[in-house]
């Protein structure tokens, strides 16, 4: 199964596609989509949409996985911007008929490490270990967060069987 994990943000959106077959993981592609803060909100959202549209066309994921939106009352602007980025990704899934799954960050960490309060660094190390990668191959936590979403989804799939 080809699973695309996306860690959306307005500045840097991380993505990672894994292939999961016979209980084995294989990294297909991972990277970031960077937008320019000098551009308008509409231009930045369009860049995220167009880049993911191209990825979906090329890589043909069977599903897409996002982190559930968590809004902290002290940072409403962050939640607002994140919601915009998530919105274009949800639109893409609907337009391309790609199943969309969402998981809370604590659930992803629990699936990856067995506990929901793990640090970003711990998640990053475990993702690299699961995919048999060295630490230099994925320098952005946005990428490893996206891959963690995809890996966590496989845990959910296995528990349903």
Q: Active site includes 142?
A: yes
67 is catalytic: yes
Rounded to whole angstroms, the Cα distance separating 34 from 18 reads 21
DSSP the chain: -EEEEEE--SSEEEEEEEEEETTEEEEEEEEEEE--TTS-HHHHHHHHHHHHHHHHHHH--SEEEEEPP---TT-HHHHHHHHHHHHHHHHHHHHHT--EEEE-HHHHHHHHHSSTT--HHHHHHHHHHHTT--TTS---HHHHHHHHHHHHHHHHHHHH-
User: Catalytic residue at 7?
Assistant: yes
Q: What secondary structure does DSSP assign to 57-82, as a single string?
A: HHH--SEEEEEPP---TT-HHHHHHH
Residues annotated as catalytic are 7, 67, 142
């Amino acid at each position: 199964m080809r699973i695309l994990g996306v860690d959306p943000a307005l500045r840097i959106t991380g993505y990672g596609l894994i292939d999961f077959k016979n209980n084995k993981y294989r990294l297909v592609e991972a990277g970031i989509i960077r937008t320019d803060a000098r551009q308008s909100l509409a231009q930045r959202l369009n860049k995220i949409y167009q880049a993911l549209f191209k990825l979906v066309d090329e890589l043909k994921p069977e599903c897409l996985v996002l982190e559930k939106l968590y809004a902290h009352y002290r940072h409403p602007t962050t939640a607002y911007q994140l919601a915009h980025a998530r919105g274009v990704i949800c639109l893409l899934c609907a337009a391309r008929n790609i199943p969309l799954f969402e998981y809370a960050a604590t659930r992803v960490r629990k699936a990856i490490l067995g506990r929901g309060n793990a640090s970003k660094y711990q998640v990053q190390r475990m993702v690299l270990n699961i995919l048999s990668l060295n630490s230099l191959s994925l320098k952005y936590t946005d990428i490893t967060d996206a891959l963690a979403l995809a890996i966590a989804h496989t845990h959910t799939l296995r528990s349903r069987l």
